[in-house]
Structure 1
Amino acid sequence: MKHLNKLVVAIFMFAGLSSQAQDSNNPWAISFGANAVDGGRVSAAESVKNQFSEYFNAKDFWNIVPSVSYLTVSRHVGDNFSFGVTGSFNKIDKFVTEKSPMNNNDYVVTDIDEMYYAIDGTINYSVGTYFKFIEPVLHIGGGYTFLGDNSAGTVNGGLGFNFWFSEVVGLSVKSTYKHSFEDDRTVMPAHLQHFAGLTFKFGGKDTDGDGIYDKDDACPEVFGLKQYNGCPDTDGDGIIDGDDSCPEEFGLAEFQGCPDTDGDGVANKDDECPEVAGLKTMKGCPDTDGDGIADKEDTCPNEKGPKENKGCPWPDRDGDGVLDKDDRCPDVKGTVANNGCPEVSEEVVKQLNDYAKSILFDTGKSTIKSGSFETLASIKNVMNEYSHARFRIEGHTDSTGRLATNERLSKERAAAVKDYLIANGVDASRLESEGYGPSRPVADNKTAAGRAQNRRTEVVVIK
């Protein structure tokens, strides 16, 4: 008994560090430990009268087996109630069996040597848990007790305490008064039975393994946090993923968990300019000049202008996206890359070169034959349609004759075409010329037909 008292003191010291699991979470419990049969009680009335004066008189009245001597299995049934079945045994060597003939208030302790067996069913009621670990439990029930060759049914009742030092493990102590239905005390006296042992609760289900039982887990299939009833908060912003519109980005409650990086009152997911503070009316984008056109769509973000001018005070007459002030061809639709002027297409370049192939020169000279003047007029007209495009006239020869002569002749013929076009209305700043002699053949110089193709004038657009 001395060692048991030390164990109780130690449990009290450490039990306060943890809290009790709810029975509804772990509905099953198993308890085992030692029991003591108190042979000093004689009747229900007298047991109450003498309870406190003789309760701890273990030396005179308690019968203890120094081993595990009881086992209890119980099941929580709801509303702080549980039902349990206890089996126990003991070795009885002393019992109060009769009153003293000298004093009617004293009793004779009879030494006996009998085995004690009991099977009891109890209904337990938990009063609640105090200081996070102390749980008083009332119990009532009945059972059957065997003492040597004698046996009797009993009606039982008592009080116990569970001291929980983890959610599922605790120390249980209780005392049960057993009133025998046998009037003859020599057959089966009324008595107290005390229990002390460990209790283990089990049976709780935690599917996601987050330490929160499924019945209390708002997200039982997903690992979560206790403070959110078992639901996850991936981004740690205090808003559970199920209610978080941006579960992987730390955000604000006012934006359902989404961030607002630029602090303009528009959540990033709805903000077309999330890195720059803007206006809600502009979907989070700024409008510096206040013309109702967001800066990112405003060609002139610092100057007010109408929407049809893309936010600029200047028009774009040809509608090619280049404002008239920057458009080199303000009345002709072009491209931004070509400063508002139309690009010279591959079809137009092919047309120019079809004309250029038919330009003829006097043999061995750079003089243009008069029959080619009409062709040159057509070339001029096409070039002037693309008034801001620049062109290079290239001259080529076949491989017949000396290389130096051919290179000089190709340069002179290209220059002659350029000069003719300038003289007839093409801006000189738009033209240049070059000769390459026989270095860039397009056909075989070994045949007359091939050499004829290699003697040519070409027009190239300068990008």
Structure 2
Amino acid sequence: MKQLSKLLVIILLVVGFNNIQAQDENNPWQIAFGVNAIDVFPTGDDEALANFGFETGSLGSEFFNVSDHWNILPSVSYVSVSKYVGGGFSVGARGSLNRIENLGDVSVDDLSHYAVDGTIKYNFLKNTTIDPFVEIGGGYTWVEAIGAGTVNGGLGINFWVSENIGLTVQSSYKHAFEDYLVKHFQHLAGVTIKFGGTDTDGDGIYDKDDACPEVAGLEAFNGCPDSDGDGIEDGKDDCPNEAGSKEMNGCPDADGDGIADKDDACPNEAGLAALAGCPDADGDGVADKDDECPSEAGPAENKGCPWPDKDGDGVLDKDDQCPDVAGTVANNGCPEVTEEVQKQLNDYARTILFDTGKSSIKAESTSVMVDIIQILNEYPTAKFTVEGHTDSVGSSKLNQSLSESRANAVRDFLIEKGIGADRLTSIGYGEDKPIATNNTRAGRTQNRRVEINLIK
């Protein structure tokens, strides 16, 4: 056991070197320990055996003759360590000790055997339970006080019983460079432990395979967390701190309207997506919370209430230029001046009397002016032209001037009594538009007149 302690010190020194890379991506280091068997018979190393005074055998004969040829120390007799370097390759070192009692077919008196070897190993498969490998390397072997360098080659297989622990069996041929050392086989069987994977967040998932290496998570989500436990990892969860459904990308939907609470302006009332999750009882496109008439459809411009039509003429007040007076749609809600009204208006206008040769309205025409004003007030948006006419007595120039001044006089009177100035224009036609003959007194009386006509 004193020799074993020395061997373990050598192995620990080898482990301390950092110029070795990684065992696999998750568990870079691998340590193995167990028993080894030395078999010199099958090598056919006649000359070396003769040097020891023993008879020889033929190469390959009785390879599996364990009882007669294998030398086994019944204790832990080898320790190895290796580190993965990528691409299936690992490099490492191994130390072993043994007692040689069988040298071929000849029994000997417990010759001591020590070996330290460097190894390059290639694993054929990855992440499998059965893990075969080949190994080459070199080292130094001592039998008693005789030592020599060797070149080694071997085959082996790991049987992994868990991610980190396995059983290893291996056979290696060691070819000695010196004639005085016997070439031999070394067989190994032992326990192998992989370790050294980095798990920064301590969630049991190595950083290489951990999509969230800084935050503890779940294996189902490649190491990423699910803070609210809704089965959706935080990175794909729009509401990582509130349990929700996959349909809502991890967010809750309290009212079940298909709109996540975080996007729902009315999270406790089922509503419409177009209204940010709020209901619209009257279906007018205005959410109930903003609708001043939630049970009666109306436009958004009027806060969800229907537009009024006070005069009941079918033209809404917002479009009705005469909201207090029933009118027609064609006239924007205002009453239309009919031919009958137009005739009545001019029947009144033609009775307006003026002082002879002047534009001043006689007092007795006041009542008829009041009648005209009443008619004009019934049509508040209608516009009119006040027209002045004369007979042909006197000069044409004088008649034109008189007709204009009389038309202006009537217009000014109406404006003074409250008719909008923008609704009235005036024009004088003089003697140019007679409605009767100027050859009779009755005809000339008809021609001296004022007319008030609708501007269409």
Quote how far apart the aligned CAs of 1:120 are.
Answer: 0.6
Partner of 1:111: 108
Relative distance call for 1:43 and 1:127 in structure 2 (3 A) is: farther
- Correspondence 1:175 to 2:166: no
Relative distance call for 1:240 and 1:91 in structure 2 (3 A) is: same
Partner of 1:69: 77
Q: Which runs of 5+ in 1 are unaligned?
A: 1-20, 97-107, 318-463
Pairs within 5 Å for 1:50-69: 51=60, 54-69=62-77
SS at match of 1:84: strand
Relative distance call for 1:313 and 1:44 in structure 2 (3 A) is: farther
Provide the C-alpha distance between the structure 1 equivalents of 2:270 and 2:65, rounded to a whole number of angstroms: 82
Equivalent residues of 1:43, 1:191 under 8 A apart: no
Partner of 2:143: 147
> Residue 88 of structure 2: which of 76, 80, 84 is its match?
80
Equivalent residues of 2:165, 2:191 under 8 A apart: yes
Quote how far apart the aligned CAs of 1:234 are.
Answer: 1.9
How does the TM-score come out when normalised to structure 2?
Answer: 0.56
Provide the C-alpha distance between the structure 2 equivalents of 1:124 and 1:227, rounded to a whole number of angstroms: 33
Q: Which runs of 5+ in 2 are unaligned?
A: 1-21, 47-57, 311-456
Partner of 1:403: none
1:290-345, CA deviations, whole angstroms, 9 ceiling, x for partnerless residues?
11211122233221123355323477x9xxxxxxxxxxxxxxxxxxxxxxxxxxxx
Pairs within 5 Å for 1:440-451: none
Partner of 1:162: 158
Quote how far apart the aligned CAs of 1:125 are.
Answer: 0.7
Quote how far apart the aligned CAs of 1:43 are.
Answer: 4.3
SS at match of 2:41: coil
Quote how far apart the aligned CAs of 1:216 are.
Answer: 2.1
> Residue 124 of structure 1: which of 118, 121, 134 is its match?
121
SS at match of 2:205: coil
Provide the C-alpha distance between the structure 1 equivalents of 2:23 and 2:268, rounded to a whole number of angstroms: 50
Pairs within 5 Å for 1:210-289: 210-289=203-282
Percent identity (aligned): 60
Code of the residue aligned with 1:42 in structure 2: it is T
Partner of 2:100: 92
SS at match of 2:220: helix
SS at match of 1:54: coil
Report which of the two structures shows the higher radius of gyration computed on alpha carbons: 2
Code of the residue aligned with 1:28 in structure 2: it is W
Provide the C-alpha distance between the structure 1 equivalents of 2:63 and 2:288, rounded to a whole number of angstroms: 89
Equivalent residues of 2:42, 2:63 under 8 A apart: no
SS at match of 1:195: strand
Relative distance call for 1:292 and 1:199 in structure 2 (3 A) is: same
- Correspondence 1:138 to 2:127: no
Relative distance call for 1:50 and 1:225 in structure 2 (3 A) is: farther
Relative distance call for 1:44 and 1:124 in structure 2 (3 A) is: farther
How does the TM-score come out when normalised to structure 1?
Answer: 0.55
Equivalent residues of 2:23, 2:82 under 8 A apart: no
